[in-house]
Amino acid sequence: MSLAEIQTRCAAACDNAGRDVTEINLIAVSKVQPNERVESILDEGHRSFGENKVQEAAGKWPAFRERYDGIKLHLIGPLQTNKVKQAMQLADAIHTVDRTKLANTIARHAQELGTCPDLFIQVNTGEEEQKAGVLPGDADAFIAEMRALDLPLQGLMCIPPVDEEPSLHFALLAKIATRNDLTGLSMGMSSDFEIAIALGATHIRVGSAIFGERVYG
């Protein structure tokens, strides 16, 4: 696979869904990938990237930002409160806000920094024990809490259970977003981004299909 191939598949999925491809933000998930691979995607002109660890992002992206203009970095992994300030200084968007303490910490640092990344609430649509995210039944209340804190909430994010039909989870996420007047939907990865586009995704997070398999060393 390559970036161009994924862009083509993304455009085809938009066509099929009667959507405009400009509605889709393709996030190239670069976690664990060697710098040369990331650089080659940057050299192709792509600017939207995703990382799941603050520390890894901090080691990689400030240097890339010096060399390439217009980078948008999305943090898509679980976030600890003690890393919030660093995360906010590094990233343009955080997709994994999932609890009151985290929202409060972000709000406090937003005051202090005078700026705040775009925020998404992670919803644990599969209600999995080990997975982060607010439960679907708690989502409306948490959305209201984030709004009361005056945070720049853009939408919702989910990671469906690996062994389940993703469309049910994407549809559930879209339904929660619609009833709360949220337009951003961060959903869909290498194996299911076309389904996510059909169900309204605005942000798809694609790693291995662009970069190749991740090699954990």
- Residues of the shown chain interacting with ligand PLP in the complex, contacts defined by CB under 6 A: 29, 31, 52, 76-77, 159, 189-190, 205-209
CB of 96 to ligand PLP, least distance (A): 8
CB of 108 to ligand PLP, least distance (A): 25
Helices within 32-182 (DSSP H only): 35-43, 54-67, 84-90, 100-113, 139-148, 166-179
Q: 204 with 189: CB under 8 angstroms? A: yes
52 vs 124 by CB, closer to ligand PLP: 52
All residues at 6 or more sequence positions from 30 whose CB lies less than 8 Å from its CB, including other chains: 37, 38, 41, 49, 50, 51, 60, 207, 211
Polymer length of the chain: 217
Based on the number of CB atoms within 10 Å of its own CB, is 130 exposed (0-12), middle (13-18) or buried (19 or more)?
exposed
CB of 76 to ligand PLP, least distance (A): 4
Q: Which two tokens stand for residue 208?
A: 């291995």
SS (H, E, C) 89-112: HHCCEEEEECCHHHHHHHHHHHHH
CB of 191 to ligand PLP, least distance (A): 6
38 vs 159 by CB, closer to ligand PLP: 159
59 vs 115 by CB, closer to ligand PLP: 59
Q: 84 with 91: CB under 8 angstroms? A: no
Q: Which two tokens stand for residue 10?
A: 């993304």
180 vs 208 by CB, closer to ligand PLP: 208
CB of 99 to ligand PLP, least distance (A): 17
CB of 18 to ligand PLP, least distance (A): 25
131 vs 149 by CB, closer to ligand PLP: 131
**What's the Cα-to-Cα distance from 213 to each of 12, 61, 158, 203, rounded to whole Å?**
24, 21, 22, 21
16 vs 191 by CB, closer to ligand PLP: 191
